Chain A
Amino acid sequence: MSKQWMFDEKADFLAKLRELVDGGVDPHDLETMTPFPVHEADHILHTRTSRLRFFTLAGTLTGLIAGFAFTIFTVMDWPLITGGKPLISLPPFLVIAFELTILLGGILSFVGFLALARLPSVKNVLQPPKEYGNRFVIQQRGEE
């Protein structure tokens, strides 16, 4: 049986949350819904740091390596001398690699976010659940 508490004030919401956790409720059974992120709730629920950072790291590293690899490959594939500069011109390639680092870092972070937050939630789009508006909500999953 699941239980639900709704609050209009953030302080009340936090007090209840603390009470529940101190009362021995497993934090994994508790779900909150708030109009904005409430960091104190994270503390109370002893949550693990988001794993998003691995996506970001993967993205930026891929971008960096791909930037240099791609540019060096193209220049070896079609070696043309321009302006007397050496074929493998690292300063310009660094610019490209830098941009790709940011680009792939951003894209992969976004993809990671969608994955981790389980969005888009097709179920919720098609059949929107109850809206709580600006209330702070705690839901406890009960055992069935």
Chain B
Amino acid sequence: MSSLKGTFDQLERDVLAAMAKPKKSFWLALAVSSLMFAVGMGCWGWQIYKGLGVAGITNPVGWGVYITDFVFWVGIAHSGTLISAVLFLFRAKFRNSFNRTAEAMTIFAVMTAGLFPLIHLGRCWLFYWLFPYPNQRLLWVNFRSPLVWDVFAVSTYFTVSLIFWYVGMVPDLAIVRRYTTGVKQWIFRIFSLGWRGTRYQWEHYGKLYMFLAALATPLVISVHSVVSWDFAMSVVPGWHTTIFAPYFVAGAIFSGTAMVITLVVPMRRIFNLETYITVSHFESLAKILLFTSMIVTYSYIVEYVLAFYSGHEFEIAHFLYRSFGDYKYLYWLMLLCNSLLPLTIFVKKLRRNLTYLFILSLFVNVGMWLERFVIIVSSLAKDYDPYAWGTYTPTLIEAGITLGSFGMFFTFFLLFTKYLPVLSITEIKEISE
């Protein structure tokens, strides 16, 4: 019979095995993602030098791939917080095996997302003008603008998520320092703040965790609502609708959960964490995926019903264009990926098949990226004045920067898997007895 301590020691060894000397495949993956990142940075540099004209955005479609990427990455970030904070408040124990990874995903996704408002600016070297700092010219920002709300929401989200992630990691960093030596140990000692696990430390820690979770929950909802209001606060047909806030939040959780599955299925295999992340955990994630997919599908239906029921010429014209116009192939592909394919999760055998879930999650990610693209581009392409109607074709620069964003995300994520514990060891211990 193994003691609790013995189980815990084994747990620690298993998790920290992932932080051992990296294999060649790790270096290869890191090299590839770093290369992608570098390509993205190069493209951005070229864009700054030449001007935003090197991208495909134009009149009337003034926003394109960059804003799609922005909303995409912020959406992905949300699932992490859902798993960490919201499921914590619901006392869903199954969250504990992947909430660290999910939170890390949130941090890196928010960082990646946060670059895009800079990338899409015409004069990005003046990006700091979006922050309300006291200045010699006595200028302030326009708080009525949803873009300023974005600044506040995304900064808040990043800060609170970082605090939450870091605070959650402190006891685990204390564990890691036991297993390291030399410079590495110094680093872990500093970042674990001298944590000892005393009762009063745990007590305050527990309260902090709960308050942060309680604060993060409305934050999750508000941040993506604010991001969706970038569109809903405009007069553009197809954007100007009150359904956007819940629709986008559900969509965010949907795409984020898919990304969690995309990341954790291979990670579990590579690091041999099958004992700790079980098929049932994935099944629960799959159920979340299905549920949010159904909310998103419902939102699609409601959008159409509202448009036609309203009799609003411009809304009706827009929705006909969205389904049968220049971007119709993207639209129907999006429906396939977001609404139809996730329905297969109703089949128990499928939702317990990790390979199937992995492939499905890739489709969902593609579908959710397409959803944002279709909403942004098709609404702008044809709105009120027929003279101004036009189309948008992304250029290689935009593809390069999108590629670079994935490179950035995966670079950070790979480094995370190597240098930080990928499971929340402490929380798994908490539920193991």
Query: A residues bordering B, Cβ < 8 Å?
Result: 8-10, 31-38, 41-42, 45, 47, 49-50, 52-53, 56, 60, 70-71, 74-75, 77-78, 80, 82-83, 85, 89, 92-93, 95-96, 98-100, 102-103, 105-107, 109-110, 112-114, 116-117, 119-125, 128-129, 131-135
Contact = CB atoms under 8 A, between A and B. Distances in A.
Contacts of A123: 194
Contact of B215 (A50, A74, A83, A106): A106
A41 to B, nearest CB: 6
Interface residues of B, number: 63
Contacts of A37: 202-203, 205-206, 430
Contacts of B139: 78
16 contacts: A8-B5, A10-B4, A10-B433, A33-B196, A34-B197, A35-B8, A41-B199, A78-B140, A80-B142, A96-B149, A99-B152, A103-B160, A106-B160, A109-B212, A116-B204, A119-B193
Contacts, number: 184
Contacts of B142: 80, 82
Contacts of A82: 142, 144-145
Contacts of B143: 71, 74-75, 89, 92-93, 96
Given A56-B211, A78-B139, A120-B194, A110 B167 contact: yes
B138 A134 contact: no
Interface string B130-150: 001000001111111100110
A80 to B, nearest CB: 8
Pairs of residues from A and B, 6 with the lowest C-beta to C-beta distance, nearest first: A124-B194, A121-B194, A120-B193, A134-B8, A74-B140, A37-B202
Interface in B143-190: 143-145, 148-149, 152-153, 155-156, 159-160, 163-164, 167, 170-171, 177-178, 189-190
A98 B226 CA distance: 11
A35 B429 contact: yes
Contacts of A128: 177, 189, 194
Contacts of A122: 194
Contacts of B12: 134
A50 B200 CA distance: 9
